[in-house]
Structure 1
Amino acid sequence: MTTLAHRQPWRLGPRGERWFDATLATALLLPALAIPFTDAGWAGFGLAVAQLVPLFWRRHHAVLAYAVVATASAAQAVLLDTPLWSQVAFPVAVYSVARFASTGRGLAALGVGLCGAVVAAIRWVLGFGGDLEADPVVAYTTTIATIVVSAWALGALARTRRAYVDALVERSEQIRRDAEQQVALAAADERARIAREMHDVVAHGLSTIVVQADGARYAAPQDPTVAADALATISATGREALVEMRRMLGLLRSEDPTGTRPQPGLADLAGLVAGDHVAATLPSPASGVPDGVALTTYRVVQEALTNVRRHAGPDAHARVEVAVGDAVTVLVEDDGRGASAPADGRGLGLLGMRERVTAHGGTLEAGPRPGGGWRVAARMPL
């Protein structure tokens, strides 16, 4: 995913920043080497060094560097009455405070700079042998103050822009993290859905095969034809399970969300409840039930009948009632062993049924039936 962090404006790295500051301070310091040969003499050279050298650390110690530069500039106003080349360090220091320090410290540096502009203007007018009149003082003060204010404004603007870009980068990173979290949640939901489908298909088919195989094994010595019928049922059930498994794999491989075949629904309930020990009352397949609710109805009946075959006992009878009104109601109950049955596998199936029904705003109840057996009741509003 492309983020603002990959498109943000070009920036110097930490090493580049150090080289830039060293180059700037050195470039400003080199012309100061000629100051001892001017009227300012060695005193002027010392002041120039004190003003320019702190610029090497202006980025990471902006306030301290500014304090040294301002002190040296104040000393210049006392010791010399003419300007020095090194005074260019003052607006650079003001910019650095406005750029790298807090807003309050930047405003304090600006205030000191404006006061210094007045003092420097007076010293320059007197140093150049002029009379202390308003016009030259105002002219010098305006020029110096404009430079100081410009340096402060550029620094404050750069700091504000940096904070804005950092906020955008942080926001884009948060959006990326949220998107990744949503993808992970969607993947987890999809895995849970596939697990429910696999459980419903495999558990139903295998439980039928196991029941028929056990019956055939016990009945074969007395009546081989029963074993033949059981083997036929096993074969049909196995084929049906393979067909459903292939359909599910087709759904996973297909880019078409409808898959290779329609999902089972109300029209498929008749084949699901076929059997000598199941009494069923089913609605019309053309009842206008949404596909998702119809699939959930099918899976609830399928899982409930699977549990009947696995836990209720060989002689248990089941009753299935599915009705469609302002809601789809499902009732599956048996007269088998009920709560005394082994719990292996039942918990996962019930959890899957409850998740499916809850996803459609419905409710599901499962538990022992009065008078014996087990009862599963679900209701999904339309």
Structure 2
Amino acid sequence: MQQPQTAARPRLGERVLTAVSRDPLTSPHRARNDAVLAAAVGALALVLALTVQSGRRPDALGWVLLAGSVVALAWRRSRPMAVLLAVLLCIVPYHAADNTHIAPVPGSLLALYTVAATARPLHTLLIGIGVIGAAVTVMFQVDSHQGLETLRTSGWILAVLIFGVDVRTYRRYIASVVGRAERAERTREEEAARRVAEERLRIARDLHDLLAHSITLIGVQTSVASHVLTVDPDRLDRAAIAKALDDITDTCRTARGELRTTLEVLRADGSDGSDGPDAAGPLPDLSALPGLVRAARADLEVRTGRTRIAPAVEAAAYRIVQESLTNAVRHGGPGVRIRVAVAAADGHLRVTVTDDGTAPGATEGSGYGIVGMRERARSVGGTLAAGPRDGGGFEVAAALPLQQSEALA
């Protein structure tokens, strides 16, 4: 038994781009990932506080303030502004006490980046000015050398803010592109559904106008015959019964002819009807295929034997071949080779049209030709599949029931 294939795992670069493109406020596992990141930042801050000589080693209050600035990062994406405020409230007294100044820097930059990636650019600019001003002011109060050093390295704060704004702009661009693609796809699907619904409504309206009168006449004539048979059976008026039955026969014959003509019009491809097999009136059948295939310079193979095929099925097969040849000639590129095979097997008429075209236009879902062919196959109780071939080109394969009862079911 063949095992189901599993989807290939995305590459590292693809996963990184997906994570960068995703809205941080809607990404999955947001709280868990932020907690893990906060723990990593806390470990880094601990190492920096113990190893780097930049101020004195934190005392008990310093450790509490440093831990508070790190723990707040666990909620950085759900409450970015509140987290930044909490971080500032912790690190301002931390720096004022001349604790190791490098230790809270990673957490502070992460909080600033989160705000820049989620807030408006104007708000980010104001926040950046406020943070740099506060940091320089605090460090000048500690020591003039530290204040000058903070002013010199404030470019890192600006770089983090600019990077956050760029990421936010990129995410908004990706969201707009995806939104436009989804709207375009919905529009195409809605347009296809609308066209199918309009065509079905038109067919229903034409068939109603055609058959309502004839069925009403048949009902009246049947009532007349029934009345003659039941009112006075001893004085049976054979002439009246015969006339009523003849009228029913004539009405059925007329309705059948009108229905055939209506189906011919409904199955027309939009031409003026002056040329082709529909000009003479009857529905096209398999005998008209050689001329159609010859005009498209395609190869034809017909193997139906003496099998009896319903006229509606023959008409559907003809129209499917006609639309397939049109698509192949239009999209297959210059010199395209087309093969048409029609065969009766297993109670179905199987129609296959293949080509070796290389042009990109003949893809499934382009236009409404394939939708129309599927509707034609479904109208006689059959199925149709269309799509690119493995070895190149395109293939249309239809299976239509042979019997009249199945075709009209």
Query: TM-score normalized by structure 1?
Result: 0.52
Corresponding position: 1:198 with 2:198: no
Give the direction of change, closer, same or farther, for the CA distance of 1:263–1:255 in structure 2 (3 Å limit). closer
Instruction: Tell me which of 166, 172, 175 is aligned to 1:157.
Output: 166
Q: How far apart are the structure 2 equivalents of 1:171 and 1:117?
A: 43
Corresponding position: 1:40 with 2:50: no
Instruction: Tell me which of 222, 241, 256 is aligned to 2:255.
Output: 241
Q: Secondary structure at the match of 2:104?
A: helix
Partner of 1:107: 125
Q: How far apart are the structure 2 equivalents of 1:263 and 1:243?
A: 15
Q: How far apart are the structure 2 equivalents of 1:27 and 1:89?
A: 10
Give the direction of change, closer, same or farther, for the CA distance of 1:231–1:261 in structure 2 (3 Å limit). farther
Instruction: Tell me which of 76, 88, 102 is aligned to 1:58.
Output: 76
Instruction: Tell me which of 130, 140, 146 is aligned to 2:155.
Output: 146
Corresponding position: 1:29 with 2:45: no
Instruction: Tell me which of 230, 241, 245 is aligned to 1:231.
Output: 245
- 8 Å CA contact retained: 1:251, 1:257: no
* Deviation of 1:118 (Å): 3.1
- 8 Å CA contact retained: 1:44, 1:84: no
Partner of 1:72: 90
Structure 1: gaps spanning 5 or more residues: 1-7, 266-382
Corresponding position: 1:19 with 2:32: yes
- 8 Å CA contact retained: 1:201, 1:244: yes
* Deviation of 1:119 (Å): 3.4
* Deviation of 1:207 (Å): 3.4
Q: Deviations over 1:316-364 (max 9, x none)?
A: xxxxxxxxxxxxxxxxxxxxxxxxxxxxxxxxxxxxxxxxxxxxxxxxx
What are the within-5 Å matches in structure 2 for residues 88-127 of structure 1? 88-119=106-137, 122=140, 126=144
Q: How far apart are the structure 1 equivalents of 2:189 and 2:160?
A: 43
What are the within-5 Å matches in structure 2 for residues 1-382 of structure 1? 9-10=18-19, 11=22, 14-34=27-47, 35=49, 39-42=56-59, 43-80=61-98, 83-119=101-137, 122=140, 126=144, 137=148, 140-143=150-153, 145-210=154-219, 228=242, 230-245=244-259, 262=278
- 8 Å CA contact retained: 2:38, 2:70: yes
Give the direction of change, closer, same or farther, for the CA distance of 1:209–1:51 in structure 2 (3 Å limit). closer
Q: How far apart are the structure 2 equivalents of 1:226 and 1:164?
A: 82
- 8 Å CA contact retained: 2:66, 2:94: no
Q: How far apart are the structure 2 equivalents of 1:81 and 1:210?
A: 103
Q: How far apart are the structure 1 equivalents of 2:136 and 2:258?
A: 91
Query: TM-score normalized by structure 2?
Result: 0.49
**117-126 or 60-69, larger mean C-alpha shift:** 117-126
* Deviation of 1:80 (Å): 0.5
Give the direction of change, closer, same or farther, for the CA distance of 1:41–1:255 in structure 2 (3 Å limit). farther
Q: How far apart are the structure 1 equivalents of 2:142 and 2:260?
A: 94
RMSD: 4.1
Given residue 68 of structure 2, which amino acid in structure 1 is its aligned partner? A
Q: How far apart are the structure 2 equivalents of 1:213 and 1:108?
A: 90
Q: Secondary structure at the match of 1:206?
A: helix
Given residue 70 of structure 1, which amino acid in structure 2 is its aligned partner? L
- The alignment-based identity, stated in percent, is 27
Q: Secondary structure at the match of 1:25?
A: helix
Given residue 79 of structure 1, which amino acid in structure 2 is its aligned partner? A
Given residue 191 of structure 1, which amino acid in structure 2 is its aligned partner? R
The number of residue pairs the alignment matches comes to 248
Give the direction of change, closer, same or farther, for the CA distance of 1:226–1:167 in structure 2 (3 Å limit). same
- 8 Å CA contact retained: 2:34, 2:75: yes
Which of the pair has more CA radius of gyration?
Answer: 1
**66-75 or 223-232, larger mean C-alpha shift:** 223-232
* Deviation of 1:25 (Å): 1.4
Q: Deviations over 1:30-68 (max 9, x none)?
A: 133353687323244333223222111111111111112
* Deviation of 1:24 (Å): 1.9
- 8 Å CA contact retained: 1:32, 1:45: no
Q: Secondary structure at the match of 2:101?
A: coil
Give the direction of change, closer, same or farther, for the CA distance of 1:255–1:87 in structure 2 (3 Å limit). farther
Given residue 40 of structure 1, which amino acid in structure 2 is its aligned partner? R
Partner of 1:349: none
Give the direction of change, closer, same or farther, for the CA distance of 1:107–1:227 in structure 2 (3 Å limit). same
Given residue 231 of structure 1, which amino acid in structure 2 is its aligned partner? L
